Structures are given as C-alpha cells and as structure tokens.
Amino acid sequence: MATINPFRSALAQLERAASFITVAPGTLAQLRTPKRTVQVAVPVRMDDGTTRVFDGYRVQYNDARGPFKGGIRYHPDANLDEVKALAFWMAMKCAVADIPFGGGKGGIRVDPKKLSVGELERLTRSYTRLLKDVIGSRRDVPAPDVYTTPQIMAWIVDEYAKIMGHTDLAVVTGKPLALGGSLGRETATGDGGFIIFEELAKKLKLKPKDTRVVVQGLGNVGYYLALRMHDAGYRVVGLSDSKGGIWDKQGLGMNPREVLQWKKKTGTVVGFPDTKSITNEKLLELPCNVLVPSALENQLTGKNAKRVKASVILEMANGPTTPDADDIFRKKKVVVIPDILANAGGVTVSYFEWAQNLQGVSWTEDVVRKQLQEKMTVAFNEIWKTAEQHATDLRTAAFIVAVQRIATAMELRATA
C-alpha cells in the first residue's frame, strides 16, 4: 500500500479552506511552504562506546502571530514530510486557539524504547546543541510530543543554559514543575478535548449514559480524555495501545484507571478482564457513538472510512484523518471535530506555562483550568458559528478561522 504523505493532506486542507474565503495569492503561496526547514545529523555516543548518527529535524512553518511553537517527537518513522505537516497544523492550531504563537515542529528518527536513559539524554543534548541558533523563548519554543517527556524537556533547558550562559526556562514548555512547568499541563490536551466534546454534546443533545466511546491510543492524551469521559458518565467501550485493543462488547463501559493499572502491570491493555482483544485497525470500526483517534496520523483513510460506525469523531491525534476519508465522512454526515480544535488544549496550557515563565509567576491549577475552559469554549463557538455561516464542516471552518487570522497578521506585517 502506498504511503500517505501527511504534508499533501495538510495542503489539501488548506486549499479547501481557502476556496471559501479571499486570501491574497502571495499570502497563500507563503502558507503552502515552511518559512525554514532545518535538517541535522545527530551524533550520539552509545553505551558500548560506538557512535551512531540519527536524522533530526526542526521545521519552522509560520511566525506571523508570534514565536514558532511545537513539540519534538522521537519516533522510528519520523521524516521531513511528517514534521512539515505537523508544523503546519501547529500554526493553524495556535491560530484557532487564538494564542500568540506561530507553528513549528521537531523530530528525531529513532526508536527511544531501544535506548538507555543515558543514550536518550545524550541524544537530546546533541540535538539541542545543533538547534541552539534556531530555538529560544522569543524564537521557537519546543515541547513534548510522541515519546518525549518532561524529563527530556529538562535536559533541553539544562543544555541550552550551558550554551547560552544563563537559564531560560521559557525555551521549552511541558517541563517538570520543579523547573518552571505549569500545573495542569500534564492533563491539558485531554482536558481541552473533553471541554470541546462537551460543547458539541450540548449542540447534539447527547446523553452520557447512552453514548458509547472508543479511544485509540492510551498515551497521555488518550488516557486523560478517556478518564474525563468515564467520570462524566460516558461509556468507554474500547481502548487500545500500540500492541492492540480491547472491546467491552457488553457495552457497559470500562474504567480507564483500572485499564491503565493493567497496562502498567502487563505492558499492554490487551487481556484486560471481561474484554475481547482486537487489533487497532478493527478498533476503529467498532460500533460506537464517538470515536477518538489519539495515536498517530493517517489512521482514518479512504480504505476504512466507510466501515467506521461512529457518528462523531473527536481527533485527539494530529492528522488522523486523510482528505479522502473526510470526503466520506461528509457524505455520511459524520461530525468530525478536527485536531486543530480538539487537541488545542495542550498548546494552550503550554502558552500559559510560557507566559508564567516570562513573567516569573506561578498560577494555581484552578486558574489554569478556568483559563483553559474559557479559551476552548470561545474557540469552539467561533468554529461552530463559522461552519454555520459557510454551510460547511467543522474542519473546514477551523481552517477558515485559522487562515484568516494568520493571513491578516502576515498582511499587516508586510512591507513594500
């Protein structure tokens, strides 16, 4: 099967949104390509004394609205087109959330599960040294992403401080609390997704006890989203991790806390008592009301979209739905809450963390949650209103809002 190019998918989303609005040709041309692409060879001394070199990337897509912002992922399939797409989506996401950042993304092509802690630290510090001239609290602010952690962010802070001769806590977000991290950041993406879903549930008049939810991916994002759903009374009937999925065919729902404990004990969710084991592919096709892809991109494609039974898709992963799948969902009248809205809670609280670091203050968790609730609710209502205004789907509406905001900033900053 041919590999789906995520950057082409991203550009297709851009073109669809642009067809609904007036954007200057020059502005649109700039939005079709990153402002800067950095590719580096990352040398690492391994524990056995040998040196390996890993491919590293940092894509800075657009900074018209503020410094570049975006995570760093360590993944064996990381590649430049993927990072470009993720950087593009970050630019759009920050605009949708209406926070003063542009979009960027980074990655290293590596399987972090095969590295020791020491090798992982040396990899991170080597990568930081190579990017020292392009990151910074006023230039480009990285954060955790797939298989990166607060500890990895701490190593970046420390290495950057050694290089610059002073500590700049705001150089990254998603840090440990002891190094300027924000309360509420760990759960922020899941919390934000739940806030958005609750707003949609009001519009569609969904009742929790009658709503079955399937969540693909039990990492940080998927777990906290599933937990919020469960605690609010929704029935979580399907969950998965990278090794497979489980289905509660009785339809009563599972407690994500118990599933996570099982996963910690056994290494996978598979085999959780009173559930049926299934593949990740089949999990996407389970009978349910709400499907939550929260793993990697390109999970819902033209190949499987017709078999998806959910009436609502809440995109907690970045780019999980391809344009051809979107076309199918529109025809089926499936409501897709797009990633650039649904999972914007993470970058929103990252913005709160960055602002706290720059001001030298620390907010309480209640303040963070209140501010997140307000930001996400306003964003949802703006997208919903735009979708009604243009008689289009929520993804196109989100891109319309984002493109208009970025284009306005670009044109205001333009010089002769």
Tens digits of per-residue pLDDT, 80-131?
A: 999 999 999 999 999 999 999 999 999 999 999 999 999 999 999 999 999 9
Residue 262 lies in a domain: yes
- 172 and 199 co-located in one domain: no
- 123 and 208 co-located in one domain: no
Question: Pick from 342, 365, 386: which residue ends a domain?
Answer: 342
Q: What CATH number is attached to the domain comprising 237? A: 3.40.50.720
- 335 and 192 co-located in one domain: yes
Query: CA 100 to CA 151: how far, in whole Å?
Result: 26
- 226 and 114 co-located in one domain: no
- 160 and 264 co-located in one domain: no
Residue 366 lies in a domain: no
Q: How distant, in Å, are the alpha carbons of 58, 189, 275, 316 from that of 253?
A: 41, 22, 10, 20
- 59 and 174 co-located in one domain: yes
Q: Which domain holds residue 318?
A: 188-342
252 pLDDT higher than 90:
no
Residue 369 lies in a domain: no
Catalytic hit among 69, 84, 93, 105: 105
- 326 and 201 co-located in one domain: yes
Q: Is 333 designated active site?
A: no
If one counts every other C-beta atom within 10 angstroms of the C-beta of residue 151, the result is 15
- 286 and 231 co-located in one domain: yes
Residue 400 lies in a domain: no
Residue 222 lies in a domain: yes
Alpha helices in 71-141 (DSSP H): 80-97, 117-130
How much is the pTM?
0.93
Question: Pick from 342, 374, 389: which residue ends a domain?
Answer: 342
Contact 226, 215 (CB under 8 A): yes
pLDDT of residue 278: 94
Residue 10 class from Cβ within 10 Å (0-12 exposed, 13-18 middle, 19+ buried)? buried
Number of domains in the chain: 2
pLDDT of residue 249: 83
Query: CA 85 to CA 6: how far, in whole Å?
Result: 6
pLDDT one-digit tens code per residue, 269-286:
999 999 999 999 999 999
pLDDT one-digit tens code per residue, 126-175:
999 999 999 999 999 999 998 999 999 999 999 999 999 999 999 999 99
Residue 55 lies in a domain: yes
Residue 71 lies in a domain: yes
Residue 70 lies in a domain: yes
- 204 and 321 co-located in one domain: yes
- 273 and 135 co-located in one domain: no
- 156 and 292 co-located in one domain: no
Question: Pick from 117, 145, 179: which residue ends a domain?
Answer: 179
Mean pLDDT, to the nearest integer, of 294-299? 87
- 173 and 257 co-located in one domain: no
Q: What CATH number is attached to the domain comprising 95? A: 3.40.50.10860
pLDDT of residue 149: 94
